[in-house]
Structure 1
Amino acid sequence: MPTDTIFDESTSEWAIDSIDSIDSTGDVIRRTESTLELLADAINSASEVRPLNRYDISILIPVYNERETLPQVLKRIDQVMPTSTETIIVDDGSTDGTREWLLNLPERANRKVICRGRNHGKGSAVRLAIRHSRGGIVAIQDADLEYDPANLLRVVWPILDGDAEVVYGSRYLQHSSDPSLMHRLGNWLLTRASNMTTGLRLTDMETCHKAFDGDLIRSIALKECRFGFEPEITAKIAARDVGILEVPTQYEGRSNTEGKKIGWRDAASAIACMWRYRHGE
């Protein structure tokens, strides 16, 4: 089936707007009983209590070499998110067949695919996706299955209800869902350093699951191209005197051999970003 393509001259990327439905075959990600109850309550509330406008939620998915997991993530989003949700997928120069798979997706009105010729970094991919977003809420979802999209519904819900402008899904709010001691230690150090520079009291600054009021996040000038965008976003939100609500989220960490891409060099870069953006500049 042919696709409508848009060439973005400012970024030299091809954007594909999709129009129909995604294949429903394949394996379904295992879900827990508590998550099913959460989804049932939330989706019923969305449809019966508070009618959602078109594209209330934009889900941004930065992708780099995630051919094996991305199809499951997209299917999961279809299963659990309200129908008034758009997905914006930025392929950041993948070389494992992800780009080719994306270009052959069935067309859909509420999905945009942007393919880049080379890797610019996760932060750059998120920034590009923000510019293309149309939702009243903008949320971030990784493509590697470390975070279940079912839990993203819990993250966006306080904004839908008008209780918050920014929500982070914390892996450590109730109990740690990260099995790696080194990852937990690194996250604790980075979050503590971020709190010292922003005055916030977060438990998980580095979480992938972040949701923002759409107008707010689109009004913030972001600069970081790689993993430094996490402390940058946090610092610039804090500089606006906007509080960040945390809710629990679940996490299934991958090893480096399974494709985990962040390391101690990225942690050092994040600390440098905290100092650079300590005043929100």
Structure 2
Amino acid sequence: MKLSILMPVFNEEARLEEALKQALNVQYPCDFELVVVDDGSSDRTAEILRRATDPRLQAVTHPVNRGKGAAIRTAVEHTTGTHMVILDADLEYDPEDIPRLLRPVLDGQIDVVYGNRTFGSHSSFSFWYVMGNKAVTTAANILFNCYLSDLETCFKLMPVELYRSLAVKSKGFGMEAEVTGKLLRRGIRPYEIPIAYRARTREQGKKITWRDGVEALWILTRERIRKPPKPVAATKPEQP
């Protein structure tokens, strides 16, 4: 097993160096790589990545900002791992939790693991952010008759080939709902493990808005009503 940690970055010069340091210093229970995609940043992000010389780090650049979903798609194209997990560069998530996500996968218990955030006074910047997350997650539970606790979590660990097979099209934050909707539609129920979380504020650079919540609801509904793909008919071999 080789883990690919995928880090989309957009204008995170204040936090990027620490985010890279934290991700690279964790004692993972398997081989790993860190694939960073600079998604068209206009600050010093590119300069910071040029100075990073760790051989476990691979940096890719988008000339213009294309969104989180597009950045992850590019990262997946460059990964060499068997499994992947997404880690934002905003320091809201603690990479020390990743080995805990890996444990049930390494034990052969499950293929897909989500990090479940427990929101409290210190871990969310607003009441409406938490309510929005709960609303989107509840919608997924109703639509797919399941019981997830945190659909919008960044920590989604799964085999790379499984992610590729989902063919995620959303360019922005809607990719979180699309990934989950497509997994649930296939009957794949993510295993959830509690993780640490500390949200930043708008002033600190929080980017997700209520529009992303509306988009997530639309994506979940679309995935629920979408017709399953038609099975490919087997072809008979030609007779000599």
Q: Is the 8 A contact 2:7 2:86 kept in 1?
A: yes
Residue in structure 2 matching 1:92, options 34, 39, 55:
39
Q: Is the 8 A contact 1:137 1:159 kept in 2?
A: no
Kindly indicate whether residue 181 of structure 2 is the aligned counterpart of residue 230 of structure 1: no
Kindly indicate whether residue 143 of structure 2 is the aligned counterpart of residue 163 of structure 1: no
SS for the counterpart of 1:277 is helix
Q: How does 1:81-120 map to 2 (within 5 A)?
A: 81-82=27-28, 84-106=31-53, 108=55, 110-120=56-66
Change in CA separation of 1:236 and 1:168 when aligned onto 2, cut-off 3 Å? same
Structure 1: state its 5+ residue gaps.
1-52
* Matching residue of 1:44: none
* Matching residue of 1:180: 126
Distance between the aligned counterparts of 1:76 and 1:140, measured in 2?
14
Q: Percent identity?
A: 39
2:69 aligned partner, one-letter code: G
Which runs of structure 1 show a deviation greater than 6 angstroms over 4 or more consecutive aligned residues? 173-176
Structure 2: state its 5+ residue gaps.
229-240
Q: 1:121-155 CA distances to partner (integer Å, 9 max, x unpaired)?
A: 01111111122222121101000001111112222
TM-score by length of 1: 0.75
Count of matched residue positions in the alignment of Structure 1 and Structure 2: 226
Q: How does 1:60-139 map to 2 (within 5 A)?
A: 60-82=6-28, 84-106=31-53, 108=55, 110-139=56-85
Q: Is the 8 A contact 1:69 1:143 kept in 2?
A: yes
Change in CA separation of 1:101 and 1:175 when aligned onto 2, cut-off 3 Å? closer
Distance between the aligned counterparts of 1:85 and 1:77, measured in 2?
10
Q: Is the 8 A contact 1:139 1:156 kept in 2?
A: no
Q: 1:91-130 CA distances to partner (integer Å, 9 max, x unpaired)?
A: 000011101221232151x321111110000111111112
Change in CA separation of 1:183 and 1:264 when aligned onto 2, cut-off 3 Å? same
Change in CA separation of 1:179 and 1:216 when aligned onto 2, cut-off 3 Å? same
Distance between the aligned counterparts of 1:161 and 1:217, measured in 2?
20
Give the alignment's Cα RMSD to 1 decimal.
2.0
* Matching residue of 2:152: 206
SS for the counterpart of 1:185 is helix
Change in CA separation of 1:177 and 1:157 when aligned onto 2, cut-off 3 Å? farther
Distance between the aligned counterparts of 2:191 and 2:108, measured in 1?
12
Residue 175 of structure 1 deviates from its aligned partner by: 10
* Matching residue of 1:244: 190
Distance between the aligned counterparts of 2:122 and 2:107, measured in 1?
27
Q: Is the 8 A contact 1:165 1:243 kept in 2?
A: no
